[in-house]
Chains A and B, each alone.
Chain A
Amino acid sequence: MLVANTRFGDLEISEEQIIYFPKGIIGFEGLERYVLLNATDKVSWLQSVDEPALAFPVVQAPLVYPGYSLYVEDDILSPLGEVDESLMGIYLVLVVPRDPSAATVNLKAPIVISFKSRRGMQLLVDRPEYSMRHRVVAAKKGA
């Protein structure tokens, strides 16, 4: 299978790499198939299989927010099918502006992926302490 991909050129991907988002991703409705690609050793791209121009960076939640919790009833995760916690990833959408040190993640809308069922979904966690623009690089003192 071939994915035409404006950002990374044409990319061969196998069926096993595809993560199915039955409910799509908010703002990108109608697109249900994505692949997770390494951008760096810490950041991944979530690339749409069906829309080459659509790729956005995500980062594993514990890396930028230790102790991050979803606070959801298990039933909410039912679109993921069979979930094995050791094969589950919680990612946060990363917004990287011109000044990368000002990058933020959206703590209110994690992307949860079950690698066992190869399904994913974007959750909404409306907790007051979760910012939609949480800075990931601590402000440098006196710099």
Chain B
Amino acid sequence: MLVLARKVNESLMIGDEIEVKLLSIDGDTVRLGIEAPKDVLILRKELYSQVAEVNRSAVEASSEDIAKLSDML
């Protein structure tokens, strides 16, 4: 992993289209500003982990239970 030290209001570039700027620091929370092309989706990483967990739990469904559920919809 590349590690860079940045001060408030300093930025870094990822490729030539994505800029990440350190806006402020408050205790253990830093605020980042990100400029990126519209087709780049930027999300908190926890969301990915949670979605992966939900997706994996969906695989456990049985055909019988799905049939029962379908009748309730």
Contact = CB atoms under 8 A, between A and B. Distances in A.
B59 A137 contact: no
Contacts of B62: 96
B73 A63 contact: yes
8 A-B pairs closest in CB distance: A27-B52, A40-B70, A100-B69, A56-B58, A96-B61, A75-B39, A75-B38, A27-B55
A50 interface: no
Interface residues on B, range: 20 to 34
A53 B59 CA distance: 9
Interface residues of A, number: 42
A122 to B, nearest CB: 7
B29 interface: no
Q: Which of A98, A124, A137 has the most CB of B within 10 A?
A: A124
Given A55-B59, A73-B38, A109-B51, 17 more contacts: A26-B52, A27-B52, A27-B56, A39-B67, A39-B70, A42-B70, A53-B59, A64-B73, A76-B39, A93-B55, A96-B65, A101-B72, A106-B51, A108-B51, A122-B51, A124-B41, A124-B48
B37 interface: yes
Contacts of A25: 55
B5 interface: no
B73 to A, nearest CB: 5
A37 B56 CA distance: 18
B66 A124 contact: no
B37 to A, nearest CB: 7
A36 interface: no
Nearest to B73: A42
A126 B72 CA distance: 28
A123 to B, nearest CB: 8
